[in-house]
Structures are given as C-alpha cells and as structure tokens.
Amino acid sequence: MRVPYLDLKAQYESIRGEIAGALDAVIARTAFAGGPFVEKFEGEFAEFTGSEHAIGVSSGTSALWLTFLALGVEPGDEIITVPYTFIATAETISFCGATPVFVDVDDVTYTMDPALVEAAITPKTKAIVPVHLYGQPANMGPILEIGESHGIPVVEDAAQAHGAEYKGRPAGSLGHAGCFSFYPGKNLGAYGEAGAVVTDDGELAATIRMLRDHGQDRRYYHKMIGWNARMDGMQAAVLSVKLKRLGDWNEARREKARMYEAGLGEIDGVVAPREAEGRCHVYHVYSARVAHRDAVFDALREREIQCGIHYPVPIHLQEAYAHLGLGEGSFPVSERCATGALSLPIYPELEPEQIEFVCSEMGTVLAELGPEA
C-alpha cells in the first residue's frame, strides 16, 4: 500500500468546480494584485481568528518580516524565539538586522518553554516570538504574562496553526500579532505563495498595510520605505473557498491523529505527539519521536510510506547561524527532537487503512531494529 506524505490533489478534487469559478471571477475582474478578493478574504480571516484586522501578504515569511519592521525592530535589537522551528522564524529577525535570541522548547509540546524566557530578556529585547509548532499552540498564558510585565510585544508564529486554540481562543489572536503562512502544504494552503498578519492593533495593521505596498497608503505618495509583499487576488479567491472547509479538514486531521495514537501506543520506541491541557492541536504535522529515526525513515520509504523530518537541524546549528557561536549542547531538548522526530503522513483525506498500515509497518521495523536508540 502506497502512503504519500501529503496528497494535495485529493483535496483539489473535492473543490475543483468551486475553485474554477473563483479563479474565473478574479480574471474577469482583472483583480490580480491586492484588490477586492484580497479584501474579502482579509475580512473572512479576521473573523475566523477573532481579530480586528487581517492583512494579506505574499507569504508567511513576509508576514513575520513586516510585523517586526512595523514594531520598529532595528539593527542591534534582539527578539526571543526558539531554535526548533522552520528557518523563516529566525531569518526574518535577521533580515531586520536584529539578532534571534533562542530559548529551548519543552519536552512534551516542542514549543517555547516559558520558564526560560525571563532570563533571556535584555534592554534590547523588542519581541517574544513563540511558534505554534506542528499545529499545537505554545503555552501562551505564561508567555503573555512575561511579555506584559516587561512591556514587550508577543508575536505568534502561527504559520502551522490555522484554527488551533489555546484555552478556547484562536491561535494568532492571543498575542500582539499573529503571523500565518498559506504555503500550499499548510492546513490552509493557497495555490501558490501567500500569508497574513492578524492583530487588534489598528496602528500596527495600518503600518503593515503600507509596508506591504511600497510604503504608500495612497498611490504614488510614499510615507515610508516599504516593499512589494502584497497578496495576489487568485490566492485570496482560492483561500476564501478553502477557509469555509478548514474546520472540517482540521477535525479530520484530529481524527487521524487519534487513530495514530491508538495504533502507535503499543509500539516500543515510539513517543506519539500529545495534545496539552487546554489546547486544540490541528496536526499540521504529526511528528512522533522514534528510536533509530533515520533507519526507520529509510525502512518505511522502502515500504512505500513517505515520511518527513521537521526539522533535522535546529537553527542554532545551521551553517547560516554559525556566527552566533552556539554549539552543540546549547539547547538540549531541541537537539534531541531534531535527532528523533519523524513526521508521519497526515492529511484530511488519508484513509484509516493507510494509518493502520503505517502503524503496523512501524511496529515491524522497530521490532527488527530493537526499541533502544
């Protein structure tokens, strides 16, 4: 049985007619760059996240970068984040000329450990950026408290967490701003590149709107130096079609996760992901910790089960960040995760038989390798 890591085509088949109509409407109005379809989606996405404003941009990377710029982050500043994330979280900090200051993640949710944040704050700290990794919100309560007590804004990297919740509140709406990616493989994915920032801060929203469009709020009158980071109309139209179904798709992912949990529970050498108290995990990635990770990855691939690794190298050990001088052992939990994490196939259309097959093959492979690393 073949089990692909992801099958975007299966989802497309279920919405094909509606997508065709939506794209045709954009072309008929020639509303390609920004425009009415982007505005419509922004309204829908603001409502979905329970935020006052949503600003559509060209990618999740742009969302983070423009948010930091709009918060006034400058060369020499520091932003606290985690090393166990996708590179964009740190890269956008560096792209403002600021320095990412890392704190480790906790061992259960793989998100920012609030107990480590306070000690990382300096007079140069301009933001705290927890990442809702794999679709599970970070422990936002204590993180927001620390931010508040020091007057430092908290920006959520919610690029993997569309529709996730912390104590009943939508991911992205808890901090000062939330940054989303609509990269095609994300739980809410465009048919190209796109992203968004959500916030209740009208002034911040207005600045991000200008920054994404060459620093203008009126055509050819430029208040600040900006960039071209607009969302395009076709992506917005696709996202409007897909947003209506996101709740059902996330529920389907959660159901697949429950099936995996039941199937993996018996196997020695596997730690299945856990949903922490008070959080709704939307399983963008179903990352288990597995003994003999690389050997298991290869063995499953031979059995036509395609897995992923998110992420094999924590940011502080990437060549691009060698200048920070943070060697091995700096962030032990992140480093252990990077060695043991194996992402199993998960998407709403995945069949129960496929999950059973993955679990049974995993059991066979680990029995052969032995459960100890």
Ligand X SMILES: *Cc1c(COP(=O)(O)O)cnc(C)c1O
* Binding positions for ligand X, rule: CB under 6 A: 59-61, 85-86, 88-89, 131, 157, 159-160, 181, 183, 195
Our CB check for ligand X shows the closer of 129 and 355 to be 129
| Residue closer to ligand X (CB basis): 183 or 286 | 183
Query: Do 346 and 160 form a contact (C-beta atoms < 8 A)?
Result: no
State the minimum distance, in angstroms, from the CB of residue 85 to ligand X: 5
Comparing every residue's Cβ against ligand X, the nearest one is 60
Report the C-alpha gap between 5 and 8 in whole angstroms: 10
Q: Taking the complex as a whole, how short is the minimal distance between the CB of residue 160 and ligand X, in angstroms?
A: 5
* Amino acid in position 109: T
- Measured from the CB of residue 132, what is the shortest distance to ligand X in angstroms? 8
- Minimum distance, C-beta of residue 156 to ligand X, in the bound complex (Å): 10
**Contact present, 113 and 103 (Cβ < 8 Å):** yes
CB of 266 to ligand X, least distance (A): 31
Cβ-count burial 177-188 (b if 16+ within 10 Å, e if not): bbbbbbbeebbb
SS3 271: strand
**Alpha-carbon span 67 to 70, nearest angstrom:** 5
Q: What is the DSSP string of 192-256?
A: S--EEEEES-HHHHHHHHHHTBTTEEETTEESS---B-BPBHHHHHHHHHHHHHHHHHHHHHHHH
- Whichever of 157 and 232 has its CB closer to ligand X, that residue is 157
Is 240 within 8 Å of 37 (Cβ atoms)?
A: yes
Q: Which residue has the tokens 């939307």?
A: 282
Q: Which is nearer to ligand X, 61 or 354 (CB)?
A: 61
Q: Which is nearer to ligand X, 264 or 341 (CB)?
A: 341
79 versus 159: smaller Cβ distance to ligand X: 159
CB 76 to ligand X: min, Å: 24
Q: Checking phi first, is residue 194 left (phi over 0); if not, alpha (psi -120 to 50) or beta?
A: beta
Q: How far is the CB of 363 from ligand X (least distance, A)?
A: 30
Q: What ranges make up the beta strands (E) of the chain? A: 53-57, 78-81, 99-102, 125-129, 155-157, 165-166, 169-170, 177-181, 195-199, 216-218, 221-222, 270-271, 279-280, 286-290, 341-344
Residue closer to ligand X by CB (options 94, 216) is 94
CB nearer to ligand X: pick between 101 and 231? 231
Give the shortest CB-1-to-ligand X separation in angstroms.
29
Q: Which amino acid is at 316?
A: H
